[in-house]
Amino acid sequence: MVLDRRLERDLLLSAPALILSLTAEERTRSRYHFLTDDDTAVFLQLPRGTTLQNGDLLAATTDEMFVRVVAKPELVLTITSDNSLNLLRAAYHLGNRHVSLEIAPTYLRLSPDPVLEAMLVHLGLQLITEVAPFCPQGGAYSHHH
């Protein structure tokens, strides 16, 4: 099945959607072969530069089947602090290094990196290595296709 369109997320479906669990890096691939969670082969043929988000709905031109994108749990580094200013400082330093970063009110999340981990410990932050969905923030000039 060739998936070549992104649909409105809130669209009421006439057929149930298959689930396509993808890591953050996999969600940046606009032309690639994947298997859905139930092992259905799909090929993404989306406009170049498309970055998929958790919850996106994809369809083939024939509309025979719909596929819902889900952020697949992956190894991540979650950063927390009792002091929100420390989280802001960490976001600033990580942004200066152009690190893909998930930003939430109580934590930051990024792909594990020993050099960045050392910097963050030096800044006095708490670090947890865990397996969780990773949904990095789009860049300032990114938009939803």
SS (H, E, C) the chain: CEECEEECCCCCCCCCEEEEEECCCHHHCCEEEEECCCCCEEEEECCCCCCCCCCCEEECCCCCCEEEEEECCEEEEEEECCCHHHHHHHHHHHHHCCCCCEECCCCEEECCCHHHHHHHHHCCCEEEEEEECCCCCCCCCCCCC
pLDDT of 124 > 90? The answer is: yes
Give this prediction's pTM: 0.86
pLDDT number for residue 145: 45
- What is d(CA 22, CA 20) in angstroms, rounded to the nearest whole number? 6
Per-residue pLDDT at 143 exceeds 70: no
How long is the chain? 145
- Please give the pLDDT value at position 44: 95
The predicted-structure confidence for 61-107, as pLDDT tens digits, reads as follows 777 788 999 999 999 999 999 999 999 999 999 999 999 999 999 99
Does the pLDDT at position 13 exceed 80? no
pLDDT at 142: 54
* Span 19-43, pLDDT tens digits: 999 999 999 999 999 999 999 999 9
